[in-house]
Structure 1
Amino acid sequence: MAHPQMFDDADPFLARVRELALALPDAAEKVSHGRPAFFTTKVFAYYGWSVKADGEWVQRPHCVVVLLDPGEREALLADERSFVPPYLGGAGWLGVDLDLTDEASVNDVDWDEVAELLDASYRMTAGPRRVAALEQRG
């Protein structure tokens, strides 16, 4: 059974994440488990996630889930925007909310930081040839 789509293609947060992720060498997008996933041969980022709180699944529709090296991950865990995503958290993945309040807008996000998180996760998953291509681009 296919998962239902759990995102809005018109979401401005997703549009910006998509722009940043797909700018990386050989990056592509697919829908996995109802959410956008960005990958080369392996997934390097997801957009949106769900977490269990008080026995209920709570949607976090405006977040990125990335794979980080342990040092970066530990530092970011102290940030109130960060969370350990179910299923992937044990393998080093981390979620970062892009909107902590209902009033947050796409203009409130530090997109340079999001680009750095996507870049770091890409480097963990893309392989040496793609990382070298990324570095050649400057």
Structure 2
Amino acid sequence: METEPHPLRYESDAPLVERMRALCMRYPEAAEVVAHGRFTFRAGKRQFAIVGAAHDDRDAVEFVPDPLEREALLERADVFVPPYEGAYGWLAIRVDSDAADWDLISELLDASYRRVALVRQLRALDADPVVPLSD
């Protein structure tokens, strides 16, 4: 029995997807994969960022937080535990594409990449660090 593919939550050229693509694809061996109707970004095979939170109609970005920062992040009004991935330690932050704190989001994505990346990917990153994008 064949199942229907998940409809895309965002178009490929949506501002949030384009901004996330610009931030995420700078990492060593980064890959963009559409999975379950959402754009995901991976360090090789392991996801480190997801555009959109499952069953949430507002813009959000999911990430794997640094365990030492998890509780502080959860005190923020714009951070929440997303369905599905939240059971595996992921968090999500609501994003207003025009007014988002992209410096913070960039830091969260960096920590997330570092949590899932392979040693060789981390060595490549540390040899040639990702520089923040200027607005």
Give the TM-score range, shorter chain: 0.7 to 0.9
- 1:65-121 per-position Cα deviation (integer Å, ceiling 9, x unaligned): 00113221111111111110111112110000112xxxxxx3412211111111111
Structure 1 residues without counterparts, runs of 5 or longer: 52-57, 100-105
Task: Find the aligned partners of 1:69 and 1:114 in 2 and give their Cα distance.
Answer: 13
More helix by share: 1
Given candidates 24, 29, 33, the residue that maps to 2:32 is 29
1:74 aligns with 2:53: no
The answer to whether the 8 Å contact 2:54/2:84 transfers is no
Alignment of 1:38-49 (within 5 A): 38-39=41-42, 40-49=44-53
Alpha-carbon separation, structure 1, partners of 2:45 and 2:13: 27
Moved segments of 4+, more than 4 Å: none
- From 8, 12, 19, the counterpart of 1:9: 12
CA distance in 2, matches of 1:124, 1:41: 13
Q: Which of 17, 20, 23 lines up with 1:20 in the alignment?
A: 23
Alpha-carbon distance in structure 2 between the residues aligned to 1:94 and 1:12: 21
Deviation, structure 1 residue 4: 1.1
Which consecutive residues of structure 2, in runs of 5 or more, have no partner in the other structure? 130-135
RMSD (Å), alpha carbons? 1.3
Separation in 2, partners of 1:92, 1:69: 10
**Displacement of 1:10:** 2.5
The equivalences for 1:1-138 within 5 A come to: 1=3, 2-39=5-42, 40-51=44-55, 58-60=56-58, 62-99=59-96, 106-138=97-129
What is the aligned length? 125
| Contact kept in structure 2, 1:69 and 1:92, CA below 8 Å | no
CA distance, structure 1, for counterparts of residue 98 and residue 86 of structure 2: 28
